[in-house]
Amino acid sequence: MQYTYLAIDIGSLIVPFIASFHPRLKFYQQWPFLWPAMLFPGLLFICWDCFFTSAGVWGFNPKYVMGVYFFNLPLEEVLFFLCIPYACLFSYHCIFSLWPSFRMSHRASTVISGLLLMIGVAGAFWFSAHIYTFATLLLMSLFVLWTGFLTKRSWTGRFYICYGLMLLPFLVVNGLLTGSWIAEPVVWYNPLEIAGPRLMTIPLEDIAYGLLLIGVEVAMYEYLLSVRGAAVRYEHPAKAADKVHPLT
């Protein structure tokens, strides 16, 4: 039982990691851009995690962790910010490498950004007394404002598609962490610091948190690819199997 959280981390990572070496995907070639894209945002989210843990916003069930801690976080929670982003960025790479025509129009992307921004801002101020809800929705709104309107990033639509497709595995992993199919939650939330509505056992704020976490890491990943000029062009894998192009 004490290895439950570790098993969730490893289970999330193992298939994407092994598939990274598939000859049609060659995701390992993107590792020089992937690791810093995960490291810098991950450190910020770990600091956020440490602060909210010390403030009692959430905590961790000692029955489901090994007992090794990094400051006030279980080692498994720190590994979460490696395993989950890796799996998500791998999915982002695969979806648009294997199905390059799977696109979203700029108009649709803008509409989604607008809806997210309105929901985020309204929710942040409506639930301003709940620190997790307020902080998550406000930061998500700022991210959407930046990517969707201020800078109009070309990858925004791709990110929305990818995150939408990842919601099902997200619900499985987060459901396990919050106690959907096990006796007690691995991660508990202070009911005074969340708005209250849940999807199964998952606080709805976690969907916005996931969008923010993965969105920031996709932004960093795309930035590093563009700066270093070594992104894989999203075209048919039979044409792109052995070559690397700038991302457009």
C-alpha distances (whole Å) from 49 to each of 36, 45, 161, 243 are 19, 6, 27, 40
Distances (CA, A) of 179 to 42, 65, 80, 188, 215: 24, 14, 17, 9, 26
**Is 60 exceeded by the pLDDT of residue 247?**
no
Task: List the structure tokens of 151.
Answer: 């800078």
Residue 102, pLDDT score? 81
Task: Report pLDDT digits (tens) over 102-159.
Answer: 889 999 999 999 999 999 999 999 999 999 999 999 999 999 999 999 999 999 999 9
How far apart CA 195 and CA 203 sit, in angstroms, is: 8
- Say how far apart CA 106 and CA 174 lie, in whole Å: 30
Q: Which of 89-93, 102-106, 135-139, 214-218 has the lowest mean pLDDT?
A: 102-106
Sequence ranges of the domains in the chain: 4-240
- Listing DSSP states for 22-42 in one string gives -TTT-GGGGHHHHHHHHHHHH
- Tell me phi and psi for residue 36, to 5 degrees: -65, -30
State residue 97's pLDDT score. Answer: 85
| pLDDT tens by residue, 220-233 | 999 999 887 655 55
DSSP 150: I
Among residues 2, 48, 4, which one has the least CA distance to residue 178? 4
The answer for residues whose C-beta is within 8 angstroms of residue 115's C-beta and 6 or more apart is none
User: In what helix (H) or strand (E) does residue 57 lie, and over which residues does it extend?
Assistant: none
Q: Is 195's pLDDT higher than 90?
A: yes
Answer for the pair 66, 6: CB distance below 8 angstroms, yes or no: yes
- Name the pairing type of β-strands 69-70 and 73-74: antiparallel
- Could you give the CA distance from residue 210 to residue 218 in angstroms, rounded to a whole number? 12
User: In whole angstroms, what is the distance from residue 117 CA to residue 121 CA?
Assistant: 6
pLDDT at residue 228 in the model? 76
Which neighbouring-strand residues pair with 60?
A: 187
Give the per-residue pLDDT at 235.
Answer: 45
The sign one gets for the Cα dihedral 215, 216, 217, 220 is: positive
Residue 11: CB partners within 8 Å, gap ≥ 6?
none
Contact criterion met (CB below 8 Å) for 89 and 13: no
Residue type, 123: G
Q: Kind of pairing, strands 187-189 and 198-199?
A: unpaired
The pLDDT tens digits for 6-51 are 999 999 999 999 999 999 999 999 999 999 999 999 999 999 999 9
For residue range 166-186, list pLDDT tens digits in order.
999 999 999 999 999 999 999
3-state secondary structure at position 204:
coil
